[in-house]
Structure 1
Amino acid sequence: MLKLNVNDEISPLKTVVLGTAESCGPVPQPDESYDPKSLEHILAGTYPKEEDMIKEMDAFAAVFKKYGVKVFRPEVIEDCNQIFSRDIAFVIQDKLILANILPDREKEIEAILHVLEYIDPEDIIHAPEEVHVEGGDVMPWYDYIFVGTYTAEDYPSHITARTNDAAVTFLRKQFPNKKVKSFELRKSTNAKENALHLDCCFQPLGKGKAILHKNGFLVEEEYQWLVDFFGADNIFEITADEMYNMFSNVFSISPDVVVSEQNFTRLNNWLRDQGFVVEEIPYAEISKQEGLLRCSTLPLVRA
């Protein structure tokens, strides 16, 4: 059996589910897209090719192998995009929460049933129907659980609004020993302004550092809370273009090792200057679907 353990974003990674790009299906029709960035590439004829995305995910898998991480992959469902395993479930402490994701994507959970068999059924929690939550919006951080939300009345009309107020209440009930801190995110049909998930505009790192994009937050005081929490000198503030390119969606294998996209020159140089080992891989094709490295992973065990 697997003993689940995730209390933060950076402790040494032992076990992870990495999504798969195999058989991810034909290019979606414009009305089938889930986010403005994918729509942009569908309309421009630049939507990523399956073989390119498979190569990118293989590069990610090779980094995990280098660091001795046990990697599960979803079973391949024909013509189904299963890249973003972070959306379908997440682990906090010793519990795995199955998310209520967009109805079209529910079969993605079936593809990881072979992984769930290793987990005590008592440690698997099904979020109630009214709770909308995706793993990209949920970040365990020691005493805290940071949650990206959208609570305005027009929530149902935004396909980019993925986590609601009921999710915050649910997490507070499930984890009474944690401080659940929510952040209102900016939702937009303009890909350069849309913060699809919290990890699209914020990422805590080792060494007390963090990546942040001010305009991803609807409420300036909430953004400022994070600046004060980490300290202004410890923050790498990204531009709107860098948010669009998913600069904040890197992934920590340990407090000292960060996997990043090879084209993120400004960020990668800064990370090295702060003393991190940066494992650079190609992931620019996958980023066209408004997701990157953190989105592709579902950590199960961190030391």
Structure 2
Amino acid sequence: MLELKVNNETSRLRAVVLGSAVDNGPTPKAEEAYDPKSLEHILAGTYPKELDMINEMEAFNTVLKKYDVTVFRPEQIENYNQIFTRDIGFVIDDVFVKSNILPDRERELDAIQYVIDQINPKKVVRPPEEVHIEGGDVMLWNEYIFIGTYKGSDYKEYITARTNVHGVQYIKELFPNKIVKEFDLVKSKIDARDNALHLDCCFQPVGNDKGIIYKNGFREEADYLFLVHLFGKDNLFHITRDEMYNMNSNVFSIDTNVVVSERNFTRLNNWLRANGFVVEEIPYAEIAKQEGLLRCTTLPLKRD
């Protein structure tokens, strides 16, 4: 039996599902793109090559193994993108929530069914159909559950809007003892520099009391200020529009003092080191072209 336990983003990691870039399929057509950044690279002819992405994910896998983390990988599906496991499910406390993802991606969940089969079935839930929620929008911070959403009346028109108000309500009802705080995110179908696809594209905690934040990713200044008050302004690393575009807030914590980061994030990595973190730098810039980075490619199952 696989024991689940995730209460925050930074405690010592013990078990995780890491996505896979093997047999990723051909470069999608422009009309098949799920987000503006992938579209940009498809049109420019700079969409990432499978081998480059496999190498990047292996670099990540090597770091996880170095810290003695149990790593599960999805079963291989032919010609299919299985990189972003964060979207397809997430763990809160000891409960595994299966996401209602875009219908085209349902097979991604099937590929990790062998992992789900090792969990107590009473601890696995699937929300009703009207509930949209993806793991990139769900962030745990001890007694808090932070959830990114989009409250615009045009929600249905945005393929980049992944978590709806029903999703927020569902989590509130499932975890009545937690403080659920939602954040209304800025979305764009056409400019990746103005699109916070998920909450982890504009905010993520690191360590015990710090975080990385992009102020303009929030539609309401009050939401941004809530985090400033909770963490303290001096504890937050503010990223620029370009840094947000390059996914600087989408790093991944293996422990309260160990952060896996992209090797090109010079300004962020220097700040992390200055604040006492061990920074494991790896190449992940090709995967970033699909508007996802390190956190997006992981599904943590157990932290201390």
| TM-score, length basis structure 2 | 0.99
1:213 is matched with 214
Q: After superposition, give the CA deviation of every residue in 1:195-250 in whole Å (9 maximum; x if it has no partner).
A: 00000000001131100001100000110110111000000000000000000000
- Please list, as runs of the form range in 1=range in 2, the aligned pairs for 1:94-173 lying within 5 A after superposition: 94-173=94-173
What SS does structure 1 have at the residue aligned with 2:193? coil
Structure 1 residue 273 corresponds to structure 2 residue 274: yes
SS of equivalent to 2:91: strand
3-state SS of 1:106 partner:
helix
Q: Give the aligned partner of residue 205 of structure 2.
A: 204
1:152 Cα deviation after fit: 1.2
CA distance in 2, matches of 1:5, 1:240: 34
Q: Please state how far the C-alpha of 1:47 moved relative to its aligned partner.
A: 0.0
- Per-residue displacement from partner, 1:132-157 (whole Å, max 9, x unpaired)? 00000001110000000002110000
- Which amino acid in structure 2 is aligned with residue 207 of structure 1? N
Partner residue, 1:40: 40
Residue in 1 aligned with 2:225?
224
SS of 1:100's equivalent?
A: coil
State the partner residue of 1:286.
Answer: 287
Within a 5 Å distance, the mapping from 1:40-79 to structure 2 comes to 40-79=40-79
Distance 1:151 1:165 in 2: 7
- Whole-angstrom distance in 2 between the partners of 1:55 and 1:25: 16
SS at match of 2:79: coil
Which amino acid in structure 2 is aligned with residue 216 of structure 1?
G
User: How many pairs are equivalent?
Assistant: 303
Task: Return the offset for 1:81.
Answer: 0.3
- Write the deviation string for residues 171-208 of structure 1: whole angstroms up to 9, x where unpaired: 00000000100000000121001000000000001131
Deviation at 1:100, TM superposition (A): 0.3
Deviation of 1:127 after TM superposition, in Å, equals 1.0
TM-superposition CA deviations, 1:61-108 (whole Å, max 9, x none): 000100000000000100110000000000000000000010100000
- The code of the aligned residue for 1:33 comes to A
- Runs of 4+ in structure 1 over 6 Å off: none
Superposed CA deviations along residues 27-82 of structure 1, whole A, max 9, x for unmatched, are 00000000000000000000000000000000000001000000000001001100
Letter in 1 for 2:245: Y
Percent identity of the aligned residues? 65
TM-score using structure 1 length: 1.00
Residue 81 of structure 1: SS of its match in structure 2? coil
Q: Residue 182 of structure 2 aligns to a residue in which SS?
A: strand
CA shift for structure 1 position 117? 1.3
CA-atom RMSD in angstroms: 0.5
Q: Give the distance between the partners of 2:200 and 2:67, measured in 1 at CA.
A: 23
> Aligned partners of 1:84 and 1:24: how far apart in 2?
12
